[in-house]
Amino acid sequence: MNILSTAIDDNFPTGVHELMFVPTIEGQGNEEQKKKWLKISRNFDIIGCYAQTELGHGTFIRGLETIATYDPSTEEFVMNSPTLTSMKWWPGSVGHTATHAIVVARLITKGKDEGIHLFIVQIRSLEDHNPLPGIKVGDIGPKFGYFGTDNGFLHMTNVRIPRDHMLMKYAQVSRDGTYSKPPAEADKISYAVMVYVRALIVDHSAETLARAITIAIRYSVVRRQTQNRPGEPETQVLDYQTQQFKLFPLLASAYAIKFAGHYMTKLYTEVTEEISEGKLRSLPELHATSAGLKAFCTELCCSGIELCRLSCGGHGYSAASGLPQLYADYSSSQTYEGENTVMLLQTARYIFKVCKQNMPQAQLPSNVAYLAADYPKYKESPVSDPKHFNDPHILLEAYRQRVIRLVAVALERYSKSIATGLDSVAAWNNSSVDWTMAARAHCHYLVLKAFHSSIDAAKVCEANFNIMRVLCCLFGLHGIIQYSGEFCLDGYMNSEQIEMAKNQLYFLLKEVRYEAVPLVDAFDIHDDILNSSLGRYDGDVYRHLYEWALRAPRNKKEVHDNYEKYLKPLLKNTKSKL
Amino acid sequence: MNILSTAIDDNFPTGVHELMFVPTIEGQGNEEQKKKWLKISRNFDIIGCYAQTELGHGTFIRGLETIATYDPSTEEFVMNSPTLTSMKWWPGSVGHTATHAIVVARLITKGKDEGIHLFIVQIRSLEDHNPLPGIKVGDIGPKFGYFGTDNGFLHMTNVRIPRDHMLMKYAQVSRDGTYSKPPAEADKISYAVMVYVRALIVDHSAETLARAITIAIRYSVVRRQTQNRPGEPETQVLDYQTQQFKLFPLLASAYAIKFAGHYMTKLYTEVTEEISEGKLRSLPELHATSAGLKAFCTELCCSGIELCRLSCGGHGYSAASGLPQLYADYSSSQTYEGENTVMLLQTARYIFKVCKQNMPQAQLPSNVAYLAADYPKYKESPVSDPKHFNDPHILLEAYRQRVIRLVAVALERYSKSIATGLDSVAAWNNSSVDWTMAARAHCHYLVLKAFHSSIDAAKVCEANFNIMRVLCCLFGLHGIIQYSGEFCLDGYMNSEQIEMAKNQLYFLLKEVRYEAVPLVDAFDIHDDILNSSLGRYDGDVYRHLYEWALRAPRNKKEVHDNYEKYLKPLLKNTKSKL
Ligand SMILES: Cc1cc2nc3c(=O)[nH]c(=O)nc-3n(C[C@H](O)[C@H](O)[C@H](O)COP(=O)(O)OP(=O)(O)OC[C@H]3O[C@@H](n4cnc5c(N)ncnc54)[C@H](O)[C@@H]3O)c2cc1C
Ligand SMILES: Cc1cc2nc3c(=O)[nH]c(=O)nc-3n(C[C@H](O)[C@H](O)[C@H](O)COP(=O)(O)OP(=O)(O)OC[C@H]3O[C@@H](n4cnc5c(N)ncnc54)[C@H](O)[C@@H]3O)c2cc1C
């Protein structure tokens, strides 16, 4: 299904079935449940969705209002949506496609609220697809993008499901309604599924940005605008420094995010192996990393798509460019699977805890070891020549020192608030903007690190190695320019060094210029997938824009129906004019 | 028509008629032509469009390929689109609505190419609206937004128009084909129309951002998410510092852009008065200011709408929020009427000239007087306490010093390139990223200045004055944080002062918190115009989201037609499964 869904723009109504429904049963179902559900799911005898978010709650899961009350007399759960805001809202496929839903609801048994648990609820008849009694489902209506997905609502009134439809790997309800708590570590383990999905999202960010930058760079060599010297042809817009400054850092970012995705998948595999050996120590780090990287990479990808679109001038605004839909669809990745600000705050929370523990480097996971109290806070950057920035270690150290300083600022603001008598909640809030800055910077560092170690580790030929190294430095330098104030914090870098970074960046833009097209070709995205008149491999942009336009529904008739209805009365003066 | 077009989302197919067609005839037509065309235009007996951009050229007007060849034997111009890329592409209303077009074309007379001139071409029959012989018109197809406007293409083959259809206020072609050049200042005067349109765009940016921020702020007091202290209600998301940091600077920006718009209109009026007195001295400054402010304000507005949308979490992604369409429509303002990067480079070019002239402050227009060589380049900011930032003069000076330093950097890079033997074109290109930074910073300064002088000038009550002053400082401080590296350039500000700016900014966020709703209410945007379930004045968000969803076309049937077609075969196993 994967290639297929890429081809039809990642908009497949059964996507959630495979990405969320099946993996959740795998992760949270007991052996019997897995036997019962997985085969028929994988065979598409049923189609599932994942119904967590409600009209009133997305981020705050403990606030969900849907209720599953256990009735020992029939050994069933009675599912209810007691309020307007408790209605499930947003789940993909619930509108018209799904026959079953994993419903996240509060479990009530023996009169006690045992908190959030997962239940499998059949919502439509397998005979005729009609909603079952007590179920009200529908589409939540038009959205920015994802037109192909029926994000929907689900309201339940006294819907009864058998006891074994609660996913019982960790917590159980016995026949008489006795509740057994999940083991303490279950919560952490369930992070693992989230981490997996977030790694997929990061991978997907890389692919998506690769598509956008392929379109923008290919078009920028076809597009010529302005004759800058008499007698010479007009300039290819990719030769403008401003255009290179928009696009080449994004090209580097597409590669950077790709490597960050690889890194996350590797981390995920390692940690799940550890889990299977009963070691849970790395889970918090894994969780914090995945939350932050999800936020960082989706944000970078989304703003990148828009910059690509804008860099195509007027034609970027046409649907023929492929860029509007790419953006409209993908921009939701900043919100689903954890709203980005909330994600950064979770990463920040972890950083905060690490710092509070005050452990030496050696005892910390490698990603955050540099936040240990005994890691040197260098007074100033050693750079005295633009070329020094060719050394990724110089860049990586600068990124570390930036985070160290941002964390210090956030910690200080937090402590000051505590000192004035505020509680930890208020103090956290008062310093939360600083914490998001620190978390973003930490993720930026992790991405640069992943980029650097991947190309160092990869066995590639000299030429490829060199250009990858250039892109890696370009990525690092662009961040320094973009966040120059943060790199100057507490005097680590100074204006002269920032100027050197800029000089080196401009130098690298020129290096990349003649590699740019091969570098996007290397993403190897087929024209049919790219679906863009501007990004065509053959460069035959203008003819295809025209042919595409001729096929527009509005061009079916020479004179549009609106003429008779609106224009004629206006033009012929048969109606009063405004 | 204005209110009407706001109500239907600025998407009126006759918009271009009023914004471009009529004003162009007013500005470029001679008296006879005005008599002939204006009355019937204003009466909507004809509907016009403005056809400048071609498939191959938008920014570079001298590169346009459409040809108007004068034929003295019939006293007509023969209009032709000689190449694929010469086809007019993008003009609003040309697809299906317009009966006439102002066509921008190269004039050929007596075998000589006299460059770009304007011609009125009838494109559709006034009888039955069919395209006239030799004319091929149509819609260019789906776009990101502006669904209501028929942006189209126009291809002409030997279309003959009478001699007096060339707009002849400045340049003329006589009956025998003799060409009279426009006077030297005509070019500059024609800037004036552009300036007018750009002032409108800035105004429109302010209105659009006001709409977005009204939605986001109203929703952020309705939306509660996360119970932060046991027993307390969940927190209104507007109480999160991160949310305030997203939204309050945008609230301030909406006001700032409004004042920038007022300022531009005032400037426009003053300068057109000067023109009518034959003084053209201020025109270059007016042009540079309007180009830069157009770019700065549309960019700020567009990124602002997106931030508003994201700050509404999942529901922001729903069309019910009103934000997706606002963005999709408005984001084109960064491209039309002068692509933003190109606009910033025009402002930069003016700054460059000002600096090269090396004139004293007294001889320069007031907006750029601070760029004179004799304006003090202060060594460092005097701020030693966060409260000092309450003084707008401190802020304004910081903004000036930032530009002075950025200009110095750009100039130096330019000169160095010249020194290595490059020509001025290459040297300009090598320093162009720096120039856009300088130009953006200059515009940022102008907007802050407009904000400050407007509230200073306005006769408002103490309370209103105070909150406006808070917003003005908030706007200024947020820029300092966002571009802290630029404010630290060459040591004007240091890390401690940036920290003080942050402290003061966080302090002001709290000040604004309880004024935020009244401040957006003050924009006085009616629910029907806002068209947003999230931004409703009554705050009854959830019920309206639900009612809106129920009306979605996809909810007409309980079981969607796709079921029979696609899902049933999949579920019932009557087709092979992937
Ligand atoms: C395209 C799409 C598909 C989706 N698919 C599914 C699906 O299949 N299944 C499903 O269950 N859900 C789905 N969702 C819902 C999605 O998971 C939620 O929208 C998402 O988790 C964000 O939560 P929210 O909407 O409650 O945002 P909110 O939490 O309401 O966010 C609003 C604002 O409040 C801020 N905020 C909230 N809490 C805090 C805090 N504690 N501290 C600081 N700031 C805070 C946020 O930063 C944001 O700016 C989907 C959503 C979209 C857009
Ligand atoms: C919604 C919409 C409505 C429109 N309505 C009309 C209309 O009614 N009538 C009409 O005639 N046109 C219309 N247009 C066209 C519009 O005016 C042009 O698209 C616009 O002027 C930008 O020009 P371009 O498309 O050639 O961009 P390009 O110039 O091709 O821009 C592509 C890239 O090249 C860069 N670039 C170009 N030149 C330079 C340079 N010299 N230096 C550095 N960088 C450069 C740009 O920064 C940009 O990143 C409309 C466009 C849109 C999107």
List, for residues B58-102, the tens digit of each pLDDT value: 999 999 999 999 999 999 999 999 999 999 999 999 999 999 999
Mean pLDDT along residues A536-561? 94
Q: What is the Å distance from ligand 2's center to B142 Cα?
A: 18
Q: Give CA angle at A217 (B84, A213), nearest 5°.
A: 125
Amino acid identity, position A96: H
Size of chain A in residues: 578
B38 pLDDT more than 70: yes
Q: Cα separations (Å) of B406 from A68, A136, A362, A499, B184? A: 62, 60, 44, 11, 34
The answer to the question of residue A489 being in a domain is: yes
If pLDDT is split at 50, 70 and 90, which confidence band does A11 have? Answer: low
Could you tell me which chain B residue has the CA closest to the CA of A230?
A: B425
CB contact under 8 A, B317 and A331: yes
Q: Among the bound ligands, name the one nearest to the CA of residue A225.
A: 2
Structural domain containing residue B501 = 192-363+388-517
Starting at the earlier edge strand, list the strands of the sheet with A88-89.
A88-89, A152-156, A135-139
Cβ-Cβ contacts under 8 Å for B49 (sequence gap 6 or more): B16, B17, B20, B21, B91, B92, B93, B94, B97, B98, B100, B101, B102
Q: What is the CATH number of the domain that holds B65?
A: 2.40.110.10
Residues B162 and B197 reside in one and the same domain: no
Label residue A417 left, alpha or beta by phi (over 0 means left) and psi (-120 to 50 means alpha). alpha
Are A204 and A10 a contacting pair, CB within 8 Å?
A: yes
Using most ligand atoms within 8 A of CB, pick from A57, A65, A90, A123 the residue to mutate for ligand 1. A90
Are B105 and B67 a contacting pair, CB within 8 Å?
A: yes
Are B317 and B309 a contacting pair, CB within 8 Å?
A: yes
Asked if residue B332 has its Cβ within 6 Å of ligand 2, the reply is yes
Could you tell me which chain A residue has the CA closest to the CA of B509?
A: A430
Instruction: Give B179's strand partners.
Output: B173
Amino acid identity, position B393: H
* Residue A69 marked in a binding site: no
If pLDDT is split at 50, 70 and 90, which confidence band does B1 have? Answer: very low
Summarised one tens digit per residue, pLDDT across range B106-139 is 999 999 999 999 999 999 999 999 999 999 999 9
Residues B147 and B264 reside in one and the same domain: no
Q: What is the CATH number of the domain that holds B345?
A: 1.20.140.10
The answer to the question of residue B401 being in a domain is: yes
Identify the residue whose C-alpha is closest to ligand 1 atom 29: A59
Q: What is the mean pLDDT of chain A?
A: 94
Q: For chain B, how long is the longest CA-to-CA vector?
A: 91
Could you tell me which chain B residue has the CA closest to the CA of A87?
A: B546
A272-276, B190-194, B258-262: least confidently modelled range: B190-194
A310 touches chain B (CB under 8 A): yes
Instruction: Give B218's strand partners.
Output: none
Closest ligand 1 atom to B228 CA: 41
Instruction: Give the residues surrounding ligand 1 with Cβ less than 6 Å away.
Output: A 16, 50-53, 58-59, 90-92, 146, 151, 332, 335-336, 339, 341-342, 345; B 223, 225-226, 237, 240, 242-243, 311-315, 317
Active-site residue flag, B462: no
- Rounded Cα distance, A142 and B247, in Å: 25
Q: What is the residue-wise DSSP string for B180-228? A: EPPPTTHHHHHHHHHHHHHHHHHHHHHHHHHHHHHHHHHHHHH-B----
- Rounded Cα distance, B48 and B43, in Å: 12
> What is the pLDDT, as a whole number, of residue B13?
67
Are A443 and A423 a contacting pair, CB within 8 Å?
A: no
With beta carbons under 8 A apart, name residues in chain A contacting B150.
554, 560
CB neighbours (10 Å) of residue A339?
19
Residues B268 and B327 reside in one and the same domain: yes
A70-74, A114-118, A272-276, B309-313: least confidently modelled range: A272-276
CB contact under 8 A, A571 and B99: yes
Are A212 and A304 a contacting pair, CB within 8 Å?
A: yes
Q: Cα separations (Å) of B563 from A4, A172, B549? A: 20, 36, 20
A12-26, B167-181, B346-360: least confidently modelled range: A12-26
Give the dihedral sign, CA B406/B410/B415/B417: positive
Q: What are phi and psi of B125, to 5 degrees?
A: -65, 140
Are A561 and A550 a contacting pair, CB within 8 Å?
A: no
A2 touches chain B (CB under 8 A): no
Are B29 and B169 a contacting pair, CB within 8 Å?
A: yes
> What is the pLDDT, as a whole number, of residue B9?
46
Q: Is B437 exposed, middle or buried (0-12, 13-18, 19+ CB in 10 A)?
A: buried
Give residue A183's Cα distance to chain centre: 30
- Rounded Cα distance, B298 and B330, in Å: 8
A457 pLDDT more than 80: no
Give the distance from residue A31's alpha carbon to the nearest chain B alpha carbon, in angstroms.
24
CB neighbours (10 Å) of residue A529?
17
Residues B25 and B147 reside in one and the same domain: yes
- Rounded Cα distance, B378 and B388, in Å: 17
Domain boundary among B487, B517, B547: B517
CB neighbours (10 Å) of residue B74?
11
Percent of chain A with pLDDT over 70: 97
The answer to the question of residue A216 being in a domain is: yes
The answer to the question of residue B149 being in a domain is: yes
Residues A165 and A280 reside in one and the same domain: no
* Residue B272 marked in a binding site: no
Summarised one tens digit per residue, pLDDT across range B187-238 is 777 777 788 889 999 999 999 999 999 999 999 999 999 999 999 999 999 9
Amino acid identity, position B381: S
Residues B434 and B465 reside in one and the same domain: yes
If pLDDT is split at 50, 70 and 90, which confidence band does A399 have? Answer: very high
Residues A292 and A323 reside in one and the same domain: yes
- Rounded Cα distance, A323 and A327, in Å: 6
The answer to the question of residue A556 being in a domain is: no
> What is the pLDDT, as a whole number, of residue A565?
86
Domain boundary among A492, A517, A542: A517
Cβ-Cβ contacts under 8 Å for B8 (sequence gap 6 or more): B148
Q: What is the mean pLDDT of chain B?
A: 94
Closest listed residue to residue A22, CA positions, set A168, A193, A182: A193
> Which value, in Å, is the radius of gyration of the alpha carbons in chain A?
27
The answer to the question of residue B537 being in a domain is: no
Give the distance from residue B72's alpha carbon to the nearest chain A alpha carbon, in angstroms.
31
With beta carbons under 8 A apart, name residues in chain B contacting A54.
none
A464 pLDDT more than 60: yes
> What is the pLDDT, as a whole number, of residue B122?
98
Residues B235 and B331 reside in one and the same domain: yes
Identify the residue whose C-alpha is closest to ligand 1 atom 23: A58
Could you tell me which chain A residue has the CA closest to the CA of B413?
A: A503
- Total number of domains in chain B: 2
The answer to the question of residue A551 being in a domain is: no
Closest listed residue to residue A293, CA positions, set A330, A338, A250, A249: A338
- Rounded Cα distance, B532 and A470, in Å: 47
Label residue B494 left, alpha or beta by phi (over 0 means left) and psi (-120 to 50 means alpha). beta
If pLDDT is split at 50, 70 and 90, which confidence band does B459 have? Answer: low
Domain boundary among A471, A486, A517: A517
> What is the pLDDT, as a whole number, of residue A1?
39
Residues A146 and A262 reside in one and the same domain: no
Give residue B155's Cα distance to chain centre: 28
Q: What are phi and psi of B82, to 5 degrees?
A: -75, -20
Residues A85 and A155 reside in one and the same domain: yes
What is residue A280's three-state secondary structure?
coil
Closest listed residue to residue A293, CA positions, set A401, A439, A435: A439
**Could you tell me whether strands A100-109 and A48-51 are parallel, antiparallel, or unpaired per DSSP bridges?**
parallel
Identify the residue whose C-alpha is closest to ligand 1 atom 8: A91
Instruction: Give B104's strand partners.
Output: B118
**Could you tell me whether strands B67-71 and B100-109 are parallel, antiparallel, or unpaired per DSSP bridges?**
parallel
> What is the pLDDT, as a whole number, of residue A527?
97
Q: Cα separations (Å) of A323 from A237, A328, B146? A: 18, 9, 16
Chain A / chain B CB contacts < 8 angstroms: 306
Give the distance from residue B51's alpha carbon to the nearest chain A alpha carbon, in angstroms.
14
The answer to the question of residue B528 being in a domain is: no
Residues B346 and B405 reside in one and the same domain: yes
Q: What is the Å distance from ligand 2's center to B339 Cα?
A: 5
CB contact under 8 A, A60 and B225: yes
Closest listed residue to residue B170, CA positions, set B114, B111, B103, B122: B114
Q: What is the residue-wise DSSP string for B474-540? A: HHHHHHHHHTHHHHHGGGSS-HHHHHHHHHHHHHHHHHHHTTHHHHHHTT---HHHH--SSS-TT--
Give the dihedral sign, CA A331/A335/A340/A341: positive
* DSSP summary character for residue A279: -
Give the dihedral sign, CA B402/B405/B408/B410: negative
Summarised one tens digit per residue, pLDDT across range A135-194 is 999 999 999 999 889 999 999 999 999 999 999 999 999 999 999 999 987 877 777 778
**What value of ipTM does the predicted structure carry?**
0.97
Q: Which of residues 456 through 485 in chain A touch B, CB cutoff 8 A?
A: 481, 483-485
> What is the pLDDT, as a whole number, of residue A462?
77
- Rounded Cα distance, A449 and A76, in Å: 52
Give the dihedral sign, CA B226/B227/B232/B233: positive
Residues A262 and A400 reside in one and the same domain: yes
Summarised one tens digit per residue, pLDDT across range B502-545 is 999 999 999 999 999 999 999 999 999 999 999 999 999 999 99
Q: What are phi and psi of B121, to 5 degrees?
A: -120, 125
Are B199 and B206 a contacting pair, CB within 8 Å?
A: no
- Rounded Cα distance, B137 and A187, in Å: 62
* DSSP summary character for residue A318: B
Mean pLDDT along residues B397-414? 98
Burial B533-553 (b: 16+ CB within 10 A, else e): bbbbeeeebbebbbebbeebe
